[in-house]
Amino acid sequence: MGGTQSLALPQGKGPHPVGCADVMVGHTRQGLFLRLFYPCLPRAGAERPLWIPRYEYCGGLADFALLSRRWCAPLLSVAIGSCRVPVSWKGPFKPCSSGYPLIIFSHGLGAFRSLYSSVCSELASWGFVVAALEHRDHSASVTYFCPAEAGREEWIPYQRVPQGQKEFYFRNKQDSVDLTKVAVMGHSFGGVTAVLALVKEPGFSCAVALDAWMFPLENSLYPEVPKPVLFINTEKFQTPESVAKMKRLSSRNSQTKIITILGSVHQSQTDFAFLTGKLINRIFSARGTLDPYKGLDITSRAALAFLQRHLHLEEDFDQWDNLLEGIGDSVIPEAPFCRSNL
């Protein structure tokens, strides 16, 4: 592979072509900013959106990785700045008489709205509208809003835990998602945000938590999580303490499931897993031993089976129900160490 970089994001395997658009609501940092993935009508020669939306995000990624913005941001821009997502940019929405179920997707610390395009577009190809939020609470590597009077963007950087503050109390205040539709999903810090959303928003029916960082979840909230959660863990990230919190939730709700994908690392559930080339993989520790396309298949099919069950969908996603029990190639029930350590 050498030092060259390329992004080979897969097209969705479902029956629908996928469209994509950015949505910004409001002119303050309290407004919403998201990337919408949705079933669309096929369109010849459709434009494909850039994976890294603006150069400023290269600087944000450099800052988050604790690397020099001066050299790392231009390097990232050259290496991955021209990569595009295989979806139709602002493609015409495909009408649906019954309405598409909605998934709210919450990114992890230091990420932003486009870094989970692979899983979001895969779910959209199976008939979901997926709203990938970009948080403005300093948990994104960088983001922005457009003040009405200024005529230009105001940028919001990622914020580390201030010296002298405990990380639990700092992170616990971030990522309040106040949305009321159907299902919520997220990765890492966004995974625990999805769990918390079940407490705060009765409109959510269930949550899918990808390698959830359970640390910010207060112990007092466990009895209050009212709906089922699907925890899809990677092999190399979780700790016994984090898995103990997941097990606590599953002991209270028999529909809460915990599975682990073997051969995967924390970044395997982001688009970074699909980058080829040693440079970016070294910076972001993106590669496990499992083929990333296979990892995406397991993640998306388990999520679809779970969503069919708890959103009462009339699809054939139950063909993948075995994955919810950890039955299948490269997947196991619970966590790699939880039987022996917990």
Cα gap 181→323, rounded to integer Å:
25
Residues facing 206 on adjacent strands: 183
Contact 220, 192 (CB under 8 A): no
Question: What are the tokens at 181?
Answer: 């539709």
| Secondary structure E strands in the chain | 6-7, 18-25, 32-39, 88-89, 102-106, 129-133, 142-145, 154-157, 182-187, 204-210, 229-234, 257-261, 275-276, 331-333
Catalytic residue among 88, 118, 121, 188: 188
One-letter amino acid identity for 47? Answer: E
CA 288 to chain centre: 18
266 catalytic residue (yes or no): yes
Range list of H helices, 187-291? 189-200, 240-252, 278-284
- Give catalytic status of residue 188 as yes or no: yes
Cα radius of gyration (the chain): 19
In the three-class reduction of DSSP (H, G, I as helix; E, B as strand; rest coil), residue 313 is classed as coil
Selecting among 63, 175, 211, 271, the annotated active-site residue is: 211
Catalytic pick among 16, 135, 187, 266: 266
Residues with catalytic roles: 188, 211, 266
